[in-house]
Each structure stands twice: as structure tokens, then as C-alpha cells.
């Protein structure tokens, strides 16, 4: 078959990139054409996302894509994935009604407890199967309803970030199921937003777009954008809009006897299941049930991941700037202290090194003194947490976990990967680092009828990637 060309827009928290991918019928080749930053924007007492800036970066990337396409070749499709939970607001004429709050904004601290004064916590979990976190969309919207309801009342549409950007490109408003599943408003059994929870925050269902499945064509580029970018009226596809859902769709695995770890700023560890697991034990362990491709459910737990390392490195004065050299400092420490990465003190402290030192002091452990000590504590603590959560997954799930597939940037960290293999006692298959973009492209291929099933997507993923296996040493 002739090569087809697809544009994957992959947005993470604070930075994004655009990939021009080609498909030859057997494998996907990906070429990063742009990378851009959009840090949290402080305004007044809050942290927001600069949505117009993100949109501008995307348009610039699309113009660059046009320059890179071979003569006479058209782009087949465009897909956008992003982080979950956060939403944008639009007036009826399509203009932006308010900047999206960032999930790290402290206005939601204690939001779960406030909401659960009115609605039983168990009832919420039975309806949604979602892990309780202050920044879940349900609690963000409830906080805004209490403190600043004007933006909710004036908005004609409330859309998750990938859906908001697709709306800005096409004029068509949808709610893609996988990103909506992060909200703690979607029922995983009915696959619809829960009316009672919406009523509780004073919102009508009409403010959200219709639920669509990954692989649905949303619309084509608006005529003015088609002309501006030179791409023409290219279809914009609803991929698995939540970045972790896209990443899991791209895991190069021959079967489902595995757990996955999306390892980046956040660590998301879970399994792919045929349906939700909503039990007293899953609630006790605070597991979440998020949507995946082909009606699968990603039963997982969010863990504070390499955010710990990223924040610490900004405070190291004389340490190497190169990431691989900095990571190698792990070998120069013998510090045995362990922290709980999910302790609230590590959510967004002014100083991460001081927060880690205070935790060690409070728990009677050796205090870190050097960058190497901090790095060793972070890596060993993450591996220990991964082991603990894998044991919990085995308790609540029928899936046979024979190996751990690690995807995302953290899969390149040989020290963390080996520690994780040793902690879990099973092989760790590391890679690809760019799994989210790959899953985005694979879903576009489904929408374009080039692939017909998740099984075929996984076959192409295997053909398109290289991995490294770490076997346990103990």
C-alpha cells in the first residue's frame, strides 16, 4: 500500500509535541516536527492553562507539517491527546469563556471532603469507580460552583482539553469517552455522564458534548484554518483523548497477561480489563476505572512519579545538567531512606528537597545530604511503591501479571527499571518512550479503516518499536 500521513498532537502537562507519522501497512514511523512549552500561568491567586498559546503552537505545527509533506501528498488525519481532568469553557459563538484552571491549582485542596459532606463517598465510587483526588473534574467544578460560579453559568460548552482543541479546529463539540472517564462524573457501565452528580454541581448535560468513542471522526478543519495551514479540510479524529489511554493502546504486547506503567511526571500503574472493577477492596485501595480502547477499562492507580525527580533537579546547584549523568548519581549514594511518593507533602511544595528531608526526619530515617542521596531515595521509593500497588492489583484483579510494560520517558531510566524489576520479581519490558504518540496514530489508523481491531493495532505497535527487558536480579 502507499504510505499514509497522520499528524499526532501529544500534549502533556506544561509541554507538548507534534509528530508527523507515516504508515506503510506494517509499521508506523514517527518524526517529531515540533516541541513547545506552555507552563502553568499564574493569574491572580490561581494557576491556569494558557489555552490560546497551546492553540497557537498547534497551528504553527500544522503549518510546519504542510511544509514537510511530500509534493502532491495530503494529510490523512489529525488526532489530539492530552492530560485528563481539566476543562475549558466556551461561549455560544465559540469564543473562550474562561481560561482552564490547572489541576495543580490549590483551590481544590480539601475539595473531596467538602463535596462528600453532601454526597456519600461510597455512592460516588459505586457510580464512577474513580480514585478520589482533589483535582478530579467533579471536585474542580464543585469548587468553581462554590467560589466563582459565573464561568459555569455563562459557558455554553464545557469541554475536556483535547475536545476543546478539536472544537477550536472543527467547530464540533464532543466529549471523548476515555478523557471523560477521568472526571469522576462518567459512569463506566452506562458510558454516560451521571445526571445526579451533574445536578449536585448545578450543571445541565447540554453543556457537554455528546459522548464519542475513540476512532470517531469529529469533523474537518474549519475552512479558514484549512486555508491558513495549507492542509485543506483534513479530518480531525477523536483518538483515545486521555494520554494514558493512548499510551496503553500503543503498548507492544502479544497478550493481556501484563500490567503497564506509564512512567513520567505521573506514574500510572494498572491493568487492561474487560470491565470495571468496583468492589469494597478496590475502593479501599483507591483504584480508578478509566476508559480504554474497544470498551476496555484501565484499572489503575495514579502515583506521584518523576515529578519528585524533576522538582529536585531544579534545586541541585553543582549536579550535572545532563539527565543521564544526573540519574547515574544514584550509584554514588548508599542512603537507605524511603518515602511515600503519594504523601500530600510532595504534591506541590515550595522546595521538594526540603519536603523529602522533612519526611525523613519525621519518620526517623537518615536525612539526605547530596543530590545522589535525593535521587536514590526517589528511585528506590518509586520502585517500592510500584511493587506495593502491583500486589494490590493481584488482589483485586483476575489478570495474570507476568510482566510489567513500562512506557513513557521513565522507561529510559535504567536504574529505575532495574530497581522495579527487582522489587516486582518479574521482567520489566521498557519502551517505547513515545508510546502515547504511537497510540494516538494507531487510533487514527482505526478511524481511517487502515486497522480494524485492537489486536491489529498491537501487531503494528510490535513492528514499530524496540524495547529493553530488565530481569529481576533477586
DSSP 354-414: HHHHHHHHHTT-PPP-SHHHHHHHHHHHHHHHHHHHHHHHHHH-------EEEESGGGG-H
Helices (H) and strands (E) in the chain, counts: 18, 22
> Is residue 148 helix, strand or coil?
coil
Residue 404 in contact with residue 427, Cβ under 8 Å?
Answer: yes
User: Residue 292 carries which DSSP code?
Assistant: -
Cα angle value 324/353/113 (rounded, 5°): 115
Nearest residue to 21 via CA among 76, 59, 80, 72: 76
**Within a 10 A sphere around the Cβ of 345, how many other Cβ atoms?**
15
**Judging by beta carbons within 10 Å of its beta carbon (0-12, 13-18, 19+), is residue 1 exposed, middle or buried?**
exposed
d(CA 467, CA 462): 9
In terms of residues, how long is the chain? 474
Q: Which of 93, 243, 257, 322 is catalytic?
A: 243
Show the beta-strand stretches assigned E in 73-209.
77-81, 87-90, 96-98, 157-160, 175-176, 186-187, 192-193
d(CA 233, CA 418): 47
DSSP 46-88: EEE--HHHHHHHHHHHHHHHHHHSPTT----EEEEEB-SS-EE
As a whole number of Å, the CA-based R_g of the chain is 22
Residue 88 in contact with residue 159, Cβ under 8 Å?
Answer: yes
Q: Give me the half-sphere count of Cα atoms (radius 13 Å) on the Cβ side of residue 235.
A: 15
Residue 62 in contact with residue 19, Cβ under 8 Å?
Answer: no
Reply yes or no on whether 123 is catalytic: no
Strand partners, 28: 23
Nearest residue to 285 via CA among 397, 183, 181: 397
List residues with catalytic annotation.
Answer: 243
Amino acid at each position: 500500500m502507499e504510505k499514509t500521513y497522520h499528524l499526532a498532537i501529544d500534549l502533556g502537562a506544561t509541554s507538548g509535541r507534534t509528530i508527523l507519522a507515516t504508515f506503510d501497512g506494517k509499521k508506523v514511523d514517527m518524526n517529531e516536527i515540533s516541541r513547545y512549552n506552555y507552563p502553568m500561568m499564574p493569574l491572580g491567586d490561581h494557576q491556569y492553562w494558557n489555552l490560546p498559546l497551546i492553540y497557537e503552537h498547534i497551528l504553527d505545527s500544522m503549518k510546519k507539517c504542510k511544509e514537510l509533506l511530500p509534493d502532491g501528498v495530503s494529510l490523512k488525519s489529525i488526532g489530539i491527546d492530552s492530560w485528563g481532568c481539566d476543562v475549558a469553557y466556551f461561549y455560544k459563538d465559540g469564543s473562550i469563556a474562561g481560561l482552564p484552571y490547572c489541576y495543580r491549582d490549590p483551590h481544590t485542596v480539601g475539595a473531596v471532603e467538602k463535596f462528600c459532606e453532601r454526597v456519600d463517598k461510597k455512592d460516588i465510587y459505586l457510580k464512577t469507580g474513580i480514585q478520589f483526588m482533589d483535582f478530579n473534574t467533579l471536585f474542580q467544578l464543585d469548587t468553581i460552583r462554590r467560589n466563582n460560579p459565573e464561568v459555569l453559568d455563562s459557558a455554553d460548552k464545557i469541554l475536556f482539553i483535547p475536545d476543546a482543541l478539536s472544537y477550536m479546529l472543527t467547530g464540533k463539540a464532543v466529549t471523548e469517552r476515555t478523557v471523560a472517564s477521568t472526571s469522576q462524573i462518567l459512569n463506566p457501565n452506562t458510558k454516560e455522564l451521571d445526571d445526579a452528580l451533574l445536578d449536585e454541581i448545578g450543571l445541565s448535560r447540554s453543556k457537554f458534548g455528546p459522548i464519542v468513542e475513540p476512532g470517531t471522526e469529529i469533523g474537518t478543519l474549519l475552512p479558514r484554518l484549512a486555508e491558513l495551514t495549507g492542509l485543506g479540510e483534513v479530518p480531525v479524529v477523536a483518538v483515545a483523548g486521555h494520554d494514558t489511554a493512548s499510551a496503553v493502546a500503543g503498548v507492544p504486547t502479544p497478550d493481556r497477561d501484563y500490567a503497564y506503567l506509564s512512567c513520567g511526571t505521573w506514574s500510572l500503574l494498572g491493568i487492561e480489563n474487560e470491565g470495571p472493577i468496583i468492589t469494597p477492596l478496590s475502593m479501599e485501595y483507591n483504584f480508578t476505572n478509566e476508559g480504554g480502547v474497544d470498551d476496555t477499562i484501565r484499572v489503575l492507580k495514579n502515583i506521584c512519579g518523576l515529578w519528585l525527580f524533576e522538582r529536585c533537579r531544579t534545586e541541585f546547584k553543582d549536579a550535572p545538567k545532563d539527565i543521564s549523568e544526573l540519574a547515574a548519581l544514584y550509584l554514588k549514594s548508599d542512603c537507605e531512606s524511603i518515602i511515600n511518593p503519594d504523601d500530600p507533602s510532595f504534591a506541590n511544595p515550595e522546595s521538594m528537597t526540603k519536603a523529602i528531608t522533612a519526611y525523613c526526619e519525621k519518620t526517623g530515617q537518615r536525612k539526605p545530604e547530596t543530590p545522589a542521596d535525593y535521587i536514590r531515595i526517589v528511585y528506590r521509593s518509586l520502585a517500592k511503591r510500584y511493587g506495593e500497588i502491583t500486589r494490590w492489583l493481584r488482589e483485586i484483579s483476575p489478570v495474570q501479571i507476568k510482566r510489567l510494560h513500562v512506557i513513557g520517558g521513565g522507561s529510559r531510566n535504567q536504574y529505575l527499571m532495574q530497581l522495579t524489576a527487582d522489587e516486582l520479581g518479574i521482567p520489566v519490558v521498557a519502551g517505547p518512550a513515545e508510546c502515547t504518540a504511537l497510540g494516538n496514530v494507531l487510533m487514527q489508523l482505526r478511524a481511517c479503516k487502515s486497522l480494524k481491531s485492537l489486536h491489529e493495532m498491537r501487531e503494528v505497535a510490535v513492528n514499530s518499536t524496540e524495547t529493553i527487558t530488565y530481569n529481576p536480579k533477586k
